[in-house]
Copies of this chain bind each other. A is one copy, B any other.
Amino acid sequence: MASAPLLDVSTVLDLPAPLPLDSGQSLPGVRISYEAYGRLNAARDNAIFICHALTGDQHVVTDHPRTGKPGWWVRMVGPGKPIDTDRYYVICANVIGSCMGSTGPASLAMDGCPWAMRFPVITIRDMVRGHVALLDALGIEQLHAVVGGSMGGMQALSLAANFPERTRAALVIASTARHSAQNIAFHEVGRQAIMADPEWREGEYYAYGKGPEKGLSVARMAAHITYLSEAGLTDKFGRRLQNRAEKTFGFDADFQIESYLRHQGISFTDRFDANSYLYITRAMDYFDLAEEHGGLLANAFARSKARWCLVSFDTDWLYPTAESRLIAHALNAAGLPVSFVELSAPYGHDSFLLDVPALDKVVGGFLG
Contacts and interface: CB of A to CB of B under 8 A. Distances in A.
Interface residues of A, number: 57
A189 interface: yes
A247 interface: yes
B261 A185 contact: yes
By secondary structure, the A interface counts as helix
Nearest to A224: B185
Q: How many identical chains are in the complex?
A: 2
Interface stretch (A92-100, A108-116, A281-289): A281-289
Contacts of A253: 188
A217 B189 CA distance: 9
A240 to B, nearest CB: 9
Given A188-B258, A191-B251, A285-B255, A180 B214 contact: no
B282 A121 contact: no
Contacts of A255: 181, 184, 188, 285
A178 B261 contact: no
A239 interface: yes
B230 A218 contact: no
Given A186-B225, A221-B192, A251 B238 contact: no
Contact of A196 (B197, B230, B238, B317): B197
Contacts of A251: 117, 121, 191, 195, 278, 282
Contacts of A198: 198
A222 B180 contact: no
A22, A188, A233 — most chain B CB neighbours (10 Å): A188
A252 to B, nearest CB: 11
A257 to B, nearest CB: 4
A120 interface: yes
Contacts of A10: none
Nearest to A291: B239
Given A120-B249, A182-B225, A218 B193 contact: yes
A262 interface: yes
A139 interface: no
Contact of A188 (B182, B221, B286, B288): B221
A257 B221 contact: no
Given A181-B230, A186-B222, 8 more contacts: A120-B249, A121-B251, A179-B239, A184-B255, A184-B258, A185-B261, A196-B215, A230-B320
- In the A-B complex, the 3 residue pairs with the smallest Cβ-Cβ separation, listed nearest first, are A196-B214, A181-B233, A121-B249
